[in-house]
Amino acid sequence: MIVIFIFLEYLLMKNPPPVPEGGGRSLGEEVPTPLTRLLLAMPPLMPGHRIFRLGKQRQTLTLSHLNPPTTVMLRDSFRAIASNPHMSDPEDDAVNDLKRGTKEYNHLQKVSPILELIRNRCKSFYHPRQHISVDERMVATKARLPIKQYMKAKPTKWGLKFFVLADVNGYTVDYRLYTGRNGAATGKGLCFDVVTTLGNKDYLGSGYIVYCDNFYSSPRLFHHLSQQGFGACGTYRQNRVGVPKTQENALKANAARGSIRWIREGELLFVKWMDTREVSILTTVHPVYTGGDCHAVAAECRWGLQSCPCPQTHSYQ
């Protein structure tokens, strides 16, 4: 509901009643100014009454009659205003359309003002706690858009891909809509740019611990976050630049469950732990092992609970 009110408020500011060309009476003049908010509140109201045809919602002698729409304004007036809303400057849109097919073209030109408004409101309503995470989120859509993405591992396979900064309670603090290759990239990789953009020190401050999966984790990123006053923890890929390649005292494929190996390089701690398979975790804030154990069902114990050592980095979960 907060997003709906933000959207309606922005439309009120950007969309005055339309005036027909050549003068004459504006269809929007039939709406009293105090009731303009009711006009923009009608679209969210209509689906809740299971009435899908605008004409039926305007009839007065049927069971589908709704009093608010008929008292606010006429049907033709509503259609005229509803067909002309915009969230950006039409002149800027025309300039952007001339850049179509070039690197300077902005796919989000017409919706970027409302996206920015919602982002700022999300950040102003709530300040996150110490533990935050960066991940992807898919928003399903059937629209034919050039920025539409496919992610096999997500429940929603096709849709708009958002990079989000979330609190430990699930609140979305900040987000970025992925539109493809960005000309303003730093050259250090997409994962680096996403985390450093969402983890804005000017807004968050310092002392936060950022959790991320192996798509984002890298020694370069974690070293940068440490310099900014952030802690970091996440799984990592062995082929990342900067990951130790030594095989001395490496974790064997047949190692016992609970086996732990680690390498420390400055503030970076590389930990490998054998669960049902090998788990690789990179952290700048945790010790290796503090004596903690975890319990898991194992065949060796006749499918009973087996206790095995667990590194402190299990807090990533």
Q: Per-residue pLDDT tens for 72-103?
A: 666 676 677 666 667 777 788 888 888 888 87
Tell whether 35 is covered by a domain: yes
In angstroms, rounded to a whole number, what is the distance separating the alpha carbons of residues 218 and 57? 56
In angstroms, rounded to a whole number, what is the distance separating the alpha carbons of residues 70 and 59? 8
Range of the domain at 45: 2-82
Rg (CA), the chain: 27
pLDDT band at 2 (very low <50, low <70, confident <90, very high): low
Give residue 303's identity as a one-letter amino acid code: W
What pLDDT is stored for residue 94 in this prediction? 87
Quote the percentage of the chain above a pLDDT of 90.
20
Q: Give the mean model confidence (pLDDT) for residues 40-64.
A: 53
- CA distances (Å), 275 to each of 198, 251, 259, in order? 32, 12, 8
What pLDDT is stored for residue 244 in this prediction? 86
End-to-end CA distance of the chain: 31
Q: What are the beta bridge partners of residue 283?
A: 233, 269
In angstroms, rounded to a whole number, what is the distance separating the alpha carbons of residues 219 and 155? 30
Tell whether 297 is covered by a domain: no
Region of poorest pLDDT, from 37-41, 83-87, 265-269, 291-295: 37-41
Q: Give the mean model confidence (pLDDT) for residues 252-267.
A: 83
Chain length of the chain: 317
In angstroms, rounded to a whole number, what is the distance separating the alpha carbons of residues 90 and 14? 11
Tell whether 46 is covered by a domain: yes
Q: Which residue has the higher pLDDT, 203 or 25?
A: 203
Write out the H or E segment, with its range, that includes residue 163: strand 158-167
In angstroms, rounded to a whole number, what is the distance separating the alpha carbons of residues 186 and 56? 54
Region of poorest pLDDT, from 71-85, 263-277, 278-292: 71-85
Question: Is the whole model's pTM more than 0.85, yes or no?
Answer: no
Region of poorest pLDDT, from 176-190, 225-239, 290-304: 290-304
When mean pLDDT is compared over 25-34, 118-127, 162-171, 300-309, the highest value belongs to 162-171
Q: Which residue has the higher pLDDT, 230 or 257?
A: 230
What pLDDT is stored for residue 4 in this prediction? 57
Q: Copy the structure tokens of residue 308.
A: 């095995």
Tell whether 155 is covered by a domain: no
Q: What are the beta bridge partners of residue 158?
A: 150
Q: Residue 45 — φ and ψ, nearest 5°?
A: -75, -35
CB-CB contact of 232 with 212 (8 Å): yes
Tell whether 63 is covered by a domain: yes
Tell whether 263 is covered by a domain: no
Tell whether 259 is covered by a domain: no
What pLDDT is stored for residue 26 in this prediction? 46
Give residue 58's identity as a one-letter amino acid code: R
What pLDDT is stored for residue 205 in this prediction? 87
Q: From its phi and psi, is residue 201 left (phi > 0), alpha (psi between -120 and 50) or beta? A: alpha
What pLDDT is stored for residue 231 in this prediction? 92
Strands 293-298, 278-283: parallel, antiparallel or unpaired by DSSP? unpaired
Domain count, the chain: 1
What pLDDT is stored for residue 286 in this prediction? 81
Tell whether 47 is covered by a domain: yes
In angstroms, rounded to a whole number, what is the distance separating the alpha carbons of residues 287 and 94? 56
Region of poorest pLDDT, from 93-97, 115-119, 183-187, 262-266: 183-187
- CA distances (Å), 27 to each of 77, 81, 198, 280, in order? 5, 8, 44, 64
95-123 per-residue burial string, b: 16 or more CB within 10 A, e: under 16: ebeeeeeeeeeeeebbeebbeebbbeebb
What pLDDT is stored for residue 45 in this prediction? 56
Q: How far out from the chain centre does Cα 160 lie?
A: 10
